Amino acid sequence: MPTLGRLLALTVSGQVPAESVQFTDGGAQLRWLGEGALEVTPARGQDSGLDLVLSAGVHGCEVIPIELLDRLIRMIARNEILPRARLLLLFCNPPAMRQGVRRLGQDLNRLFCGKHTASEPGDETRRAAQLEEWVAAFFQEPGRRRWHYDLHSAMRASVLPQFAVCPWMDGRQTSSESLMRLRHAAVDALLLQEKPSGTFSAHTATRHGAEAFTLEMAEAPGGAWPDCLDEFLQAARHWIEAREPAQPNPALRPLREFRLAREIVKRSEKFVLQLPADIENFTPLALGTLLAEDDGGVRWVVEEQGARILFPLADIAIGERAGLIVVPRD
């Protein structure tokens, strides 16, 4: 296997490969761009016109998406996957990955869409700028399809095990083809954002017109490997090989759509999240349930029919969100 197929090991160890360009037995070119970044060009005559970005490790403690991307890279290097798409494969936050922590300083996934330019300079702002530069260079050729799947892990169990977040983009409608791809990837739910954000997928969607999603991969107790992750790997293989999924069939799970109703934001050090520490994502919330309290008598109480909780997190900085209240999308 070409050395560049061990991109994860190179990234975690901080090594620079002896060769920056290598080829698979099938003729695909692997090109090392820098720490954690690999570009793959299909063999001559195999390019289908798709530019696909797969990224993981924006938060360094999210092991499952990092492992998923590592498996795909190794399969490409071993010629088990024959790319018909141009690929940009990214391990986004190497320092945090090395220490197995969510972040070392600022949250990298809040620094895209140029937000790093208005933030306190540091390793994360420089990395966000570098990732934006790589993406801009990768997406520079017009007339090609552009996709981006940013792989994450919510680090807690979920009533709906695997879900996607679709970034807001003015006037954009999510296509039926996009939704079908998510269903084939064993995605149970889709949260449609209704305002701009600074996430990596929001950057590629708004700045480059990519079909972009943040994918929250399934978790299982005791480090077990959920079956739906194998379904995701198979779907990702089809993306890389530029094979469209089959038409809908009754065996596919339904895709439930949600929208954001409110954010719970920590405003002071007196903030208290009034939810069990082990509450699952997408847990239904009864009307009148007290979710959180803060200084000055601020209270977050459930007012929405069909409300569910998403991303509850008490240990955050002032000004950051401590959870999302989501509701079914009409």
User: Which residues participate in catalysis according to the annotation?
Assistant: 216
d(CA 322, CA 240): 36
Q: How far is the C-alpha of 118 from the C-alpha of 87, rounded, in Å?
A: 30
**Nearest-angstrom CA–CA distance, 207 and 135:** 10
Residue 313 class from Cβ within 10 Å (0-12 exposed, 13-18 middle, 19+ buried)? Answer: middle
Summarize the annotated binding site for Zn(2+) as residue ranges. Answer: 59, 62, 152
Distance CA 280, CA 106 (A): 25
The full length of the chain comes to: 330
Binding site membership: which residues?
59, 62, 152
Q: What is the distance between the alpha carbons of residues 75 and 69, in angstroms, rounded to a whole number?
A: 10
Do β-strands 298-301 and 86-91 pair in parallel, antiparallel, or remain unpaired? unpaired
Contact (CB, 8 A) for 163 and 282? yes
Say how many C-beta atoms besides its own lie within 10 A of residue 182's C-beta: 24
In what side-by-side order are the strands of the sheet with 298-301? 272-273, 290-294, 298-301
**CA nearest 201: which of 169, 170, 156, 223?**
169
